[in-house]
Amino acid sequence: MPHAVDPAPHCAAGGPFGPAGVLMSFLWPGMLVLLLGVPLIVVGYVRLLRRRNERAAALAAQGFVPNAAARRLRKVRHVPTVLFLVAVVVLLVAFARPEVSVGLPHREGTVILAFDVSNSMLAKDLQPTRMDAAKAAAKQFVDQQPSEIKIGIVAFNNGALITQQPTTARADTLSAIDRLSPTGATSLGQGIFTSLSAIAGRPLSLPPNATVDDIANADIGYFGSAAIVLLSDGENTSGPDAVAVAQLASTAGVHIYPIGIGSPQGTVLQIGGFSVATALDEQELMQIASLTNGKYYNAQDTQTLSQIYKNIDLRTVTDPKKTEVTALFAGIATLLLLIGGALSILWFGRLA
């Protein structure tokens, strides 16, 4: 979920500084006490002006009236001084080493790659097999993810197992993918439920003989920055009910992106001396995607499968990152001093 940013600017060292929406703090806030000297500078300047005005009035009484050019310069005589004063204030703030918190968008969250490792994934309607094609594309997906993304691996057939807890260690994730080996039947519901356990970071369980409503309405918490990539041929053969578990994932804020592995035409496998027909069953996978506000993809070949991984929509969040801007303040102060000095020399032939 995007992190909320306080719309009202505030300063960690006391006092509002910085533009609206940008939070400013100081590394050396004690230096801000120097700003107390600014009113003294203003008082001194006002007294200097008063003495100058008194001398000008005395000269005027003796008949020394300023010419037109001098009168024009009197209208702008305060500009260089104001620039000098602002420069001093900015420079004193720079001494306190200001830093601002700016919201920087980046991708963050947890992705579980849930692999169907049932016997049907040995089919060769994707080359060299459905399983090998899925593993190759999954490795590409892992390599392309930002370092902040945690990736976990779940293997499911008629049961499910977390073979790699969510981690940013890419080598561990890739090793877990390499270890996957097909066997057994298929339970989409168990694969999704175990993936939710990996996201939650704790074992989740359902009550014995849980009904479809019990599963769909269970409270496991909210994980809005998590997603499940479900790789399967969709041939579901055992419980729990996959649609009910998908509804549970939706309530928890988890998007599911089912990827159909194989072809609708299917193929025939030789398993234990028996010929077993297997084909991609898309209907339940599409329903799971729809319920969780994800998207279903059909992988007809290895190249298409690789492109699907590139299009998985992960969350973008905004986190405040602190950046020191002392150099910026010092640069602004220097520029103001240079402009004020140039104007003073140009108009009056001296530094005011």
Q: Is-cis flag, bond preceding 105, omega within 30?
A: no
In this predicted model, what pLDDT tens digit does every residue of 200-253 receive, in sequence order?
999 888 777 778 888 888 889 998 889 999 988 877 777 788 999 999 999 999
The overall average pLDDT reported for the chain is 79
| 55-64, 254-263, 271-280: which is most confident | 254-263
Q: State the Cα–Cα distance between residues 148 and 150, nearest whole angstrom.
A: 6
Higher pLDDT, 305 or 39: 39
Q: State the Cα–Cα distance between residues 202 and 198, nearest whole angstrom.
A: 7
Q: At what angle do helices 130-144 and 170-178 cross, to 10 degrees?
A: 180
Q: State the Cα–Cα distance between residues 340 and 85, nearest whole angstrom.
A: 10
**Whole-Å CA distances, 259 to 82, 138, 142:** 67, 11, 16
In this predicted model, what pLDDT tens digit does every residue of 259-269 receive, in sequence order?
888 767 766 66
Two tokens at 330?
């010092």
Residues 6+ apart with CB under 8 A from 206: 193, 214, 215, 218, 240
| 5-9, 112-116, 119-123, 278-282: which is most confident | 112-116
Question: Which stretches of the chain are assigned E, i.e. beta strand?
Answer: 23-26, 98-107, 109-116, 149-156, 160-167, 226-232, 255-261, 267-271, 274-278, 297-299, 316-324
> How many Å is the maximal CA-CA distance in the chain?
125
Q: What is the pTM of this model?
A: 0.61
In this predicted model, what pLDDT tens digit does every residue of 307-351 receive, in sequence order?
666 666 666 666 667 888 889 999 998 999 899 888 878 776 666
In one letter, which amino acid is 113? Answer: L
Domains of the chain by residue range: 23-101+320-348, 109-314
Higher pLDDT, 108 or 159: 159
Residues 6+ apart with CB under 8 A from 339: 83
Superfamily (CATH) of domain 109-314: von Willebrand factor, type A domain (3.40.50.410)
